[in-house]
Amino acid sequence: MAFSLITHEQTKSPISEAYRTLRTNVQFTGVDTKTKKIMITSSGPREGKSTTVANLAVSIAQSGKTVLVIDADLRNPTQHKLFELGNFEGLSTFLVQDEQNKDFIKETEVPGVKVLTGGPIPPNPAELVGSQRMKRLIEEVSEQFDMVLIDTPPIIAVTDAAVLAQEVDGVILVLASGEVNKEYAQRAKDQLDKVGAKILGAVINKADMKTSEYYYYYYYHGSDDHKKKKRS
């Protein structure tokens, strides 16, 4: 199992605890309305969205729920590497074939977590993720699993994430601490707002963990109150 899945390899680490906190926050967003289909994106590349997807999936599964991870970043699929799975076929091949989704969903070593890998990189990723077959897939798997997490390309770079944001119950935006500037992060939020996405919150990734204290930040959609919590 890849070391990037720290929630599976080091369950008592501070980072694993931070993911459990994120899991709890996500679960609380579904108190009044059902939140089963969640898209996770970033403002730009290399902010850690794919690792966040995988570790959040593991953390949710550890609470006794079934989780499906869909790698919809067809331009740069990563989930098969994190879960050490084959990627000869996956979402890209499913979307152009007339087969059932169960034929493409893969088991992982983590109990409760299954993955629909990205598959071979297609020439038309935006068209595929915006297809009616993709919409039907999301609805079907939301009935088969307790939670569906969708990994998408960065929201600013291409249209894929904006298209998928309209098909889910909520969106989590991953931002790299000390790397993404405020203007770029605001552009990402504005782009999600433009398509009517429900932003569940933001995850500040790559925070300094050298000290015994660490911070996690989050905000809720519709509120200007950014909350900062301190853990030790």
Could you give the percent of the chain with pLDDT greater than 70?
A: 86
Could you tell me which residue, 103 or 217, shows the higher pLDDT?
103
Measured CA to CA, the distance from residue 153 to residue 160 in angstroms comes to 7
Residue 17: predicted pLDDT: 87
Residue 44: predicted pLDDT: 86
Helical H segments across 147-211, by residue range? 160-165, 182-194
Angle made by CA atoms 45, 105, 80, in degrees to the nearest 5: 35
Per CATH, the number for 6-231 is: 3.40.50.300
Neighbouring CB atoms inside 10 A of 27's CB total 14
Contacts of residue 56, defined as CB under 8 A and 6 or more positions apart, other chains included, come to: 19, 22, 23, 26, 40, 149
Place of tokens 């969106």: 171
- The 10s digit of each residue's pLDDT in 194-224 is 999 999 999 887 665 553 333 344 444 433 4
Residue 5: predicted pLDDT: 84
Residue 188: predicted pLDDT: 93
Could you tell me which residue, 68 or 32, shows the higher pLDDT?
68
The answer to whether the CB of 54 falls within 8 A of the CB of 149 is: no
Beta bridge partners of 149: 38, 69
Amino acid (1-letter code) at residue 16: S
Averaged pLDDT of the chain: 86
The answer to whether the CB of 94 falls within 8 A of the CB of 101 is: yes
Helical H segments across the chain, by residue range? 6-9, 14-28, 49-62, 79-82, 91-94, 125-129, 132-144, 160-165, 182-194
Measured CA to CA, the distance from residue 92 to residue 129 in angstroms comes to 9
Average pLDDT of span 98-113: 94
pTM reported for the whole predicted model: 0.87
Residue 55: its H or E element? helix 49-62
**Which residue, among 226, 199, 227, 217, has the nearest Cα to 29 in the 3D structure?**
199
- The 10s digit of each residue's pLDDT in 47-91 is 889 999 999 999 999 999 999 999 999 999 999 999 999 999 999
Q: Looking at the predicted structure, is the pLDDT value of residue 230 above 50? A: no
Q: Are strands 67-71 and 113-116 parallel, antiparallel or unpaired?
A: parallel
